[in-house]
Structure 1
Amino acid sequence: MADTGEQFEASASAFGYLFQFAKALHICIEQWMSGDMAWNVAVEAADDIEIHQGAGDRRLIQLKQRAEGVRMTDLSEDLWKTLRIWAEAAKADRIVLAETRLFLLTTAEIPEGSAAFYLPPRGSQHRDEERALHLLREARKASKATKGPLPKCFEAFDNLDQGDRPLQSPLMSRIEILSGTPDINEVRNALQGLAAFAVGHEAAQAFLARLEGWFYNRVIEQMQTPGGRPVTGSEFDEMLSDLQRQFRYDSLPIDPDISDMSFDPSQAVDQQFVRQLGLIGVGSERIELAVRDYVRAFTQRSRWSGENLLRAGELGKYERKLVEEWRSRFAEMAEELGPEVTEEEKKKEARRIYRWVDLEARFPIRSGCDESFVTKGSYHMLADELKVGWHPDYSARLIALLEPARTR
């Protein structure tokens, strides 16, 4: 088991990634709301967050979340470690300073008169790049650090002015430091507010959970691939617009993790809907498909209910419609068969009704939510409760099967 120090470092690292993901998503939404889709965002590529918006507009962002009361002094490790990252990238020509803006967003306080104080966003009255550079040089000279991260940071900073191309001043001209940056809780609250704006307060949490799930998986995919493809504006627009459509008044979300679910049919052999299919001689492959639809519908409906996405009485109304549509066909079958009928004829007609459920019956719970497994799986849920059936004598047959188990 890891010691306390290792656990703390692992937790801090994980927390840092969550902060990056949340902030990157927030940036994507803000970019999307601007109406211009000619942008892309990457996480942990050239920096914590990297944004491209048109030719010659590249932004690299470093995020630092610190406890309340922490100050970013001229010898702050957060400041110098960030400078090292940018200095090494500039020296190695991994970034073109003339085309790149460098942002350090920190929750720490910035003391007045410090180097970071003189590097606020462009246009600020007290921005003074020369003064900031002077203070950094003085702090570097005054430091007695021989261990820890600072010596390597100083070395990278010194190397900027080695050779015939001094880069310390050009680097200062590209840096913008913002204090009072919202922390992860504030960012998530902002995301919740934007989600409420997109789909309403009642559905906001469910909407945001799906958007975050897609975005985080997409970013992990980008991070795991060398030179991974960033999230593009057009891709984000397509995803967000589709998700909004799923949360309209006339629709409900169909979740990919549920629509891709499979289930071992052997674990459902004792369920009534499976027994119902066995009564009419449905083959094993179609029973397997029926179990799949049952599991998907049951899980999706449970998630809708758990997230309060369904209106009062909506499931009951939907099931009544399914039962009514089934009842007319079941009654017609009983009339067609008459009193004198063989078992094989009963099964044949019963399979015809089940074929209607399997291949034709498509009754969306809402007009914009027409995924077939919802209808088919809901019928299997009703069959499991013996509210519908396929064999003309399904109720009596299944009750008879259950009697021995009840009397044991």
Structure 2
Amino acid sequence: MNSLTAIQEKHTASAQAIAFDYQFYYFMCLALDLRHGDKVGFEVKDDVHIDLKDGTTILFQAKHTVSTKADGTLENLTTLDVDLWKTLNIWVDMIKADESILQDHCFYLVTNKGEGNNEFIESHILFKTNSDIDKIIDLLKELKNKTQNNEVKSCIKNILSIRRKKMKLFFSRLSIETNIDDIIDRIKFKIYEHCRQKDLIDAIFESLSSNMNVAKYLDTKDRKKFEITFEDFNNRFGKCFRVAFEKKPLPKRTYPINLPDNLEEQTFVKQLLDIGEITSGDPLIIEYTTQMLQAMNHLADWTEKNLILPTEMDEFQKEAILKWRNEFQAKYRQIRRQVNSGSSIEDLEMDIQNLGLQLIDFLRKENLAIAEDALGIELSNGHYYALSDKPEIGWHYDWEQKYKLV
């Protein structure tokens, strides 16, 4: 390392900056879990704190490292790690200033460092089981005498200076979490729990982190405490989630179409031939078949990708068929009376064909909608061709006898 590089590195603070970001991302994580009556704060009572509805306050110290071991993994929170003892020392100073905080405060040390073989953490875990404070006190005395680091020695000495009863209560309210290095992934998972749409997670994360950082800057600049209640989060940052709930048009594309070998054997084509809308060999058969297959492909794709709900699909089908049925009843009301009076369908064929043409002309003007999204005339026409191909609808007065019962 040359002298210029050494000077530059001395006056930059990338490790400190990422440590600060780590604290802020942990704050975001807590903000996403807020419940009615809770309040989370950043750099107010501690690195991060949360005031719960029940009156409990949880203080968080978030410690981040970029240092790695020889194998490339992050360094461990060792037994005599200065971050560990400086953190505990801060909280002990708080207790000495006001012992009453032990009644309604909890203390959380969160770090991306690994745990390794940390004697204090092991001893603390055992204490949580048996409440034997004497073993922790013995370990603290041993570590104070063992360390060559004067800062660590001073911190341990300060911890040992509080009364035994207070120390026991403090350690019962202490929690230490290591290996918390996936903080951004945790935030994104919580966002996913809110929006339920994986493809929107990154967009919401970027919007939320950006807006919360700006809010932090402006509140700090105005000498305000950066604290967020459940209601604040909804009011100030709820718009960041709007993309997940805004109505978006269903995606439309042109699918490659494989036409069937015998176009005129399709039921919907037979129905159109029957009323004289087309004739055999008509090039419109290819156009209508393409429209039908495009409509079928779109609906299948939207359903498969969960862009429309099964209930929305059912409602769409019912609405389309109801429009056909209402117009069918209106067009053929007089024909029905004549048939009921004894006229034969064969004698009425010319009138039936004309009414069938009027019926399909009417429905070709319909712009069907699914999930409040209009399909457009081409896909709407294609959907009616698909319904008549099943067949669930028809154009001829006697279409059920001719096609549905075959």
Instruction: Give the TM-score normalised by structure 1.
Output: 0.51
Counterpart code for 2:32: I
**Residues 384-403 of structure 1: CA distance to partner in whole angstroms, max 9, x if unpaired?**
xxxxxxxxxxxxxxxxxxxx
Return the letter of the residue paired with 2:172. Answer: S
Q: Decide which of 184, 189, 196 is 1:188's aligned counterpart.
A: 184
After the TM superposition, which residues 143-222 of structure 1 pair with which residues of structure 2 at under 5 Å, given as runs? Answer: 143-146=147-150, 149-161=151-163, 167-181=166-180, 183=181, 186-197=182-193, 198=195, 200-222=197-219
Provide the C-alpha distance between the structure 2 equivalents of 1:169 and 1:38, rounded to a whole number of angstroms: 30
Q: Are 1:139 and 2:143 counterparts?
A: yes
- Closer/same/farther in 2, CA of residues 27 and 156 from structure 1, 3 Å limit: same
Letter in 1 for 2:103: A
How many residues are treated as equivalent by the alignment? Answer: 241
Question: What's the counterpart of residue 43 of structure 1?
Answer: 42
Give the secondary structure class of the aligned counterpart of 2:205: helix
Partner of 1:30: 33
Distance 1:205 1:113 in 2: 37
Once the 2 structures are TM-superposed, how far is the Cα of residue 205 of structure 1 from its aligned partner? Answer: 1.7
In the other structure, the counterpart of 2:324 is none
Unaligned runs of at least 5 residues, structure 2: 250-371, 373-406
Q: What displacement does 1:231 show? A: 0.9
In structure 2, the partner of 1:228 is 225
Amino acid at match of 1:15: I
Matches of 1:194 and 1:138 in 2, distance apart?
A: 42
Is residue 121–residue 178 contact of structure 1 (8 Å, CA) maintained in 2?
no
Task: Trace 1:3-402 onto structure 2 (pairs within 5 A).
Answer: 3-7=7-11, 10-31=13-34, 36-66=35-65, 67=68, 68=73, 70-93=75-98, 96-112=101-117, 114-120=119-125, 125=129, 129-146=133-150, 149-161=151-163, 167-181=166-180, 183=181, 186-197=182-193, 198=195, 200-224=197-221, 228-250=225-247
* Cα deviation digits, residues 316-351 of structure 1 (max 9, x gap): xxxxxxxxxxxxxxxxxxxxxxxxxxxxxxxxxxxx
Shift of 1:44: 1.6
Give a deviation string over 1:165-198, Cα, whole Å, max 9, x none. Answer: 96433322221112222x1xx2212323333451
What letter matches 2:211 in structure 1?
W
Instruction: State whether residues 102 and 174 of structure 1, in contact with CA within 8 Å, keep that contact through their aligned partners in structure 2.
Output: yes
Distance change in 2, residues 1:59/1:207 (3 Å): same
Letter in 2 for 1:230: E
2:32 counterpart SS class? helix
Structure-2 separation of matches of 1:207 and 1:58? 29
Q: Per the alignment, in what secondary structure is the counterpart of residue 176 of structure 1?
A: strand
Deviation at 1:75, TM superposition (A): 1.6
* Pair 88,38 (structure 1): closer, same or farther in 2 beyond 3 Å: same
Q: Cα–Cα, structure 1 residues 228 and 69, in superposed 2: closer, same or farther, change >3 Å? A: closer
Contact 1:111–1:117 (CA under 8 A) maintained in structure 2: no
Q: 2:220 & 2:131 partners in 1: Cα distance?
A: 35
Contact 1:39 1:54 in 2 (8 A): yes
Distance 1:225 1:137, change over 3 A: farther
Judge conservation of contact 2:41–2:49 (CA < 8 Å) in 1: yes
**Displacement of 1:199:** 6.0
Per-residue CA deviation, residues 53-89 of structure 1 (Å, 9 max, x unaligned), is: 0243010111123343523333211111111111111
Q: One-letter code of the match for 2:40? A: V
Runs of 5+ consecutive residues of structure 1 not aligned to the other structure:
253-366, 368-408
Amino acid at match of 2:204: F
Q: Residue 61 of structure 1 aligns to which amino acid in structure 2? A: F
User: d(CA) in 1 for partners of 2:224 and 2:138?
Assistant: 37
Per-residue CA shift, 1:204-248, capped at 9, x if unaligned?
222211111121222334445656151111111234443333443
- Aligned-partner SS, 1:115: helix
Give SS of 2:119's match.
Answer: coil
Q: Which has the larger radius of gyration?
A: 2
Alignment CA distance shift 1:4-1:176 (3 Å): same
Task: Give yes or no for contact 1:43–1:223 (8 Å, CA) kept in 2.
Answer: no
Name the SS for the 2:53 alignment partner: coil
- TM score, norm. by length of structure 2: 0.52
Give the match's secondary structure for 2:158.
helix
Question: Could you tell me which residue of structure 1 aligns to residue 295 of structure 2?
Answer: none
Q: Percent identity?
A: 20
